[in-house]
Amino acid sequence: MQLDRKSSAPVSLVGRSPPLRACIIDMNNGVANQGIRCLRTLIESFYAVARERNPELELEIVHVEPRNLGDIPPRDCHLYLSSGGPGSPFDGKDEPWALAYREFLDWIYAEGEREGEASRGMFAVCFSFELSMVHFGIATMAPRPTRKFGVMPVYMTEAGMKSDLFEPFGDRLFAWEHRSWQAVDLDEGRLAGLGGACWARESRDGVSKGESLLAFKIGQSIKTTLFHPEADRPGALAWIASPDQAQAVIEAYGETTYLRMLRTLDDPMRLARTRALTIPGWLSRRFNAMAETRGWREVPAPVYDETAVLREFGTPPGQGADAPAGRLSIEPDEGG
């Protein structure tokens, strides 16, 4: 377990509010990846916003690694970001780390049922999404016929379009995907019993582009996505532009789609917008819901600003003042 602390200039301890504790649950099993860097950056960026309204606020980031180090997520953090990772959601299901993680899922769910929106909260991504589906019995995790990877559209359900998480996007957003599993066969009764809702899926019609369900609310305290809303341009480009992965994308989807994916990384209305609004919006809402009982002052919701978003997301090469006009333009949408 690692603990990082960040604070503003020293202040008097009299009347001091408690530190904001954020936990990154690293499910990568020791494998090097871009996701943890992206999650940490989002937390630190949110902290900078929160500190503008709360100059005395300190941040403590706890980093735990259950799969490879046997770390157990602590129970004293306010915000939990649980990452993606390699392998099957059934790997090591009876090992101590997996049992402890399932106990943690029950605990964070119960926190939400007891305290409502003011409770501690978790955002779970990809591999952590898969574990949540299996544990709560919401949907069946099944192998995909082929691996899905790259920049892909995500379609909101009616409930998703009305949700605080996805309302800014209308009926579709673009996100980074890298997975070999899919969530199918939704148990609607089980989901309703948990106070949950399905917010997004792989295809607008539920079939044509894939059958997977992609995002859920589980009770009051858990939001989870099978895609990667934390992905930024440097991380995505490092993966998609590498020779081996580029060839894999071309073989799977064709060169035209590969080139569209590259252009999408330069489009502020696509992957950059997803990163700027999804997890940052969730962080601000959870923080504000807890603010009164913790002595914090509320923070504004993230506002989409193309220039600021590109700066945070990672400005494309040649995007300065001398860049050719129309660098951000893309071909007509690929449909769907």
Has residue 220 been placed in a domain? yes
Instruction: Tell me the residue range of the domain where 188 lies.
Output: 2-299
Q: Which residue has the tokens 């989002």?
A: 42
Q: Is residue 21 part of a domain?
A: yes
What is the structure's pLDDT at 315?
55
More confident residue, 163 or 242: 163
pLDDT, position 105: 98
For residue 89, what pLDDT is reported?
A: 97
Which CATH number does the domain housing residue 242 bear? 3.40.50.880
Q: Is 161 within 8 Å of 171 (Cβ atoms)?
A: yes
The DSSP letter of residue 118 is G
**Would residue 328 count as lying in a domain?**
no
In a domain, 315, yes or no: no
CB 259: neighbour CB atoms within 10 A? 14
Share of the chain above pLDDT 70, in %: 87
pLDDT band, residue 3 (cuts 50/70/90): low
DSSP letters, 245-295, are HHHHHHHHH-HHHHHHHHHHTT-TTTHHHHHHHHHHHHHHHHHHHHHHHHT
Q: What is the mean pLDDT of residues 215-228?
A: 98
Strands 140-156 and 172-184: antiparallel
Is 95 contained in some domain? yes
Q: Give this prediction's pTM.
A: 0.87
303 or 275, greater pLDDT: 275
Q: What's the N-to-C CA distance of the chain in angstroms?
A: 44
* Per-residue pLDDT tens over the stretch 170-192: 999 999 998 999 999 999 999 99
What are the residues facing 140 on neighbouring strands?
Answer: 184
Helix (H, G, I), strand (E, B) or coil at 126: coil
pLDDT score recorded for residue 32: 84
Q: Give yes or no for residue 325 having a pLDDT over 50.
A: no
pLDDT band at 313 (very low <50, low <70, confident <90, very high): low
Is 324's pLDDT higher than 50?
A: no
Do the domain assignments include residue 329? no
Specify which residues 80 forms β-bridges with.
Answer: 23, 122
For 28, 68, 86, 100, 180, the CA distances from 31, given in Å and listed in that order, are 5, 9, 8, 21, 17
141 falls within a domain? yes
Q: Look at residue 269 and tell me whether its pLDDT is greater than 80.
A: no
Evaluate whether residue 34 is within a structural domain: yes
Integer Cα distance of 176 and 32 in angstroms: 17
Q: Count how many domains the chain has.
A: 1
Mean pLDDT of the chain: 87
pLDDT of residue 265: 76
